[in-house]
Copies of this chain bind each other. A is one copy, B any other.
Amino acid sequence: MPDHKRAAGTRLGRRNDPDRRDRIIDACIEVVSRAGVAGTSHRKVAAQAAVPLGAMTYYFDGMDDLLREAFTRFATTISDRFERRMAAAPDADAAREAVIAIILEDVFGDDRELVLSHELYTLAARDRSYRSITADWMARSRAALERHFDPETARMLDALIEGLTIHRALDSQPRDPREVEIAVTRILTRGGEAR
């Protein structure tokens, strides 16, 4: 019985480094970010993690299983950061500015995260079983926004963040940062929508 499938607490005969499995997951994220899901293979991940090829099938039930764990970790990491930033905002106005900063920084920041997000979305769009990862991520983002805004606004704002981030990343020419500010402000302005 493989170690990772045994109930926690029964530690028996464990020898090598116990976080080899973790290393494989991290290596997988790294390989995906460089080569894409299309270019990711057991062999490349094994090489990146410096583990033998046989360890791949030993620890995971195939690429899907591995990818699921890798993207779960990735989404959790991003989600944690978002939550922390939102929690750091003392009031709604600070939260508004934090959101603007996140959009602008995520765009000009690491290409790596942009790529990984899209790889995940693509998997989720095709395969229902990845959708729980994106659903959880979205749920956490919304919960973080609901510290400062009502639930409905939080959902709209979350969608706006997504769209602005994507479009600014895929745009060929740079845009005025003030546009982001204006868009966020408009979404946060409750107007004559009660009809």
Residues of A within 8 A of B (CB): 36-38, 111, 114-115, 117-119, 121-122, 124-126, 131-132, 134-135, 138, 152, 155-156, 158-164, 166-172, 175, 179, 181-183, 185-187, 189-193
A124 to B172, CA, bound (A): 11
> In the assembled complex, how far is the CB of residue A182 from the closest CB belonging to chain B, in whole angstroms?
5
The answer on a CB contact under 8 Å between B175 and A155 is yes
> What copy number does this chain have within its complex?
2
Partner of A156, one of B134, B186, B193: B186
A132 to B171, CA, bound (A): 9
A134 to B37, CA, bound (A): 20
- Kindly report which residue of chain B lies nearest to residue A136, judged by CB atoms: B172
- Which residues of B sit under 8 angstroms from A125, Cβ to Cβ? 111, 114-115, 117-118, 169-170
The answer on a CB contact under 8 Å between A183 and B170 is no
The answer on a CB contact under 8 Å between A183 and B162 is no
- Kindly report which residue of chain B lies nearest to residue A135, judged by CB atoms: B172
The answer on a CB contact under 8 Å between A132 and B172 is yes
> In the assembled complex, how far is the CB of residue A104 from the closest CB belonging to chain B, in whole angstroms?
13
> In the assembled complex, how far is the CB of residue A25 from the closest CB belonging to chain B, in whole angstroms?
19
> In the assembled complex, how far is the CB of residue A32 from the closest CB belonging to chain B, in whole angstroms?
10
The answer on a CB contact under 8 Å between A152 and B182 is yes
> In the assembled complex, how far is the CB of residue A137 from the closest CB belonging to chain B, in whole angstroms?
9
- Which residues of B sit under 8 angstroms from A181, Cβ to Cβ? 193
The answer on a CB contact under 8 Å between B126 and A170 is no
Partner of A38, one of B37, B115, B160, B190: B37
Known: A118-B121, A189-B192, A193-B185. A163 touches B170 (CB 8 A): no
- Which residues of B sit under 8 angstroms from A172, Cβ to Cβ? 131-132, 135
